[in-house]
Structure 1
């Protein structure tokens, strides 16, 4: 039964996650944290971090991680297949349609209409992570004492470095992780 739930949950995520891995994060959060309570919000944030750092698409890495956590190796396989199956079918179908009808303005209009939705999904995922990093699991608060100053400082410095010198983001993530880890060990 749990394997069927894993497959169905990640099938839905794979079916409706348009725009890449980060756009799928709100869908994964809804299924894994809110609906099935397989992970807490903190564990979900850790999942995002691990899925970002490991090679491969973030949604598939997330499916594999959640599947292993919930039902071991069979869970990882079932969740991963559930996540990629809709994409394989949809991409094959869309490729056929696109090459057959790419000159139609309706097709171009549909693609243009999807862009703002994708941006909103990515922004929603980013905002959720930002709120969790700055205020914790309790969420946004107007009380300044609840703000995690280390997170705000690391975020501000990382944004500044990325905008000013445009280094490889991996180096910024690695540096932030090392500095954050050192700070939290000292505190």
Structure 2
């Protein structure tokens, strides 16, 4: 039971202190889940994010579910998922009750502008960390550049880009296997 509550409270903290969506939670996930608690490796977190991006639902919830399931099975997945969504439910309920009264206040608008800029910095930091561990050869660099260009400048769904990258990786591995 203690492990289940640890999952809940850890993901509750991550969910409550992460602003800007799933990608902005990556630095906190790395610190809490990979470095501090050692519930997953850096590679596993990257895999969870990749699969979470391709599956229906919110990436933060999907990732929490994967980590929780790895630790304590179905109940672990449920507790981690509840933990990551609990702060959002509380915060959204409070904001919804008062937002119309405060949304036009200049201080609130400036605070949200500052939060958005900080989130961009967190996402860039996460991209650099992931890039260092994920891009290990020239093919990985080419796939990363093409994937970035396609997601940034085309209307192609990220799901198709991830599937294409996976196929290129599989084909590359298959071709290397035949040469050996």
Report the TM-score, using the length of structure 2 for normalisation. Answer: 0.90
2:55 aligns to what? 54
| 1:118 partner SS | helix
- Answer with 165-174 or 104-113: which moved more: 165-174
Structure 1 residues 165 and 45, CA gap change in structure 2 (3 angstroms): closer
Higher relative contact order (CA 8 A, sep 6+): 2
Q: How many residues were matched structurally?
A: 175
What's the counterpart of residue 141 of structure 2?
A: 152
Deviating 4+ runs (over 6 angstroms): none
Unaligned segments of structure 1, at least 5 residues: 136-147
Q: Please give the alpha-carbon distance, in whole angstroms, between the structure 2 residues aligned to 1:123 and 1:62.
A: 19
Q: For each residue in 1:132-156, what CA deviation from the matched residue of structure 2 results, as whole angstroms up to 9, or x when unmatched? A: 1124xxxxxxxxxxxx111012122
Match of 2:135, SS?
A: helix
Match of 2:170 among 178, 181, 186: 181
Partner of 1:22: 23
Q: Distance in 1 between matches of 2:152 and 2:119?
A: 23
Residues 41-79 of structure 1: per-residue CA shift (max 9 Å, x gap): 111211111211111111100111111110111111111
Give the structure 2 partner of residue 143 of structure 1.
none
In structure 1, what is the Cα distance between the partners aligned to 2:112 and 2:119?
11
Deviation at 1:171, TM superposition (A): 2.1
Give, in whole Å, the separation in 2 of the partners of 1:152 and 1:59. Answer: 26
Corresponding residue of 2:77? 76
Q: Distance in 1 between matches of 2:59 and 2:25?
A: 9
Query: SS of the residue aligned with 1:55?
Result: coil
Q: How well do the aligned residues superpose, as a CA RMSD in angstroms?
A: 1.6
Distance 1:98 1:44, change over 3 A: same
Aligned pair partner of 1:169 in 158, 163, 167: 158
TM-score (norm 1): 0.86
Which residue does 1:97 correspond to in 2?
98
Give the Cα–Cα distance (whole angstroms) in 2 for the partners of residues 59 and 162 of structure 1: 20
Aligned-partner Cα distance in 1 for 2:77–2:52: 14
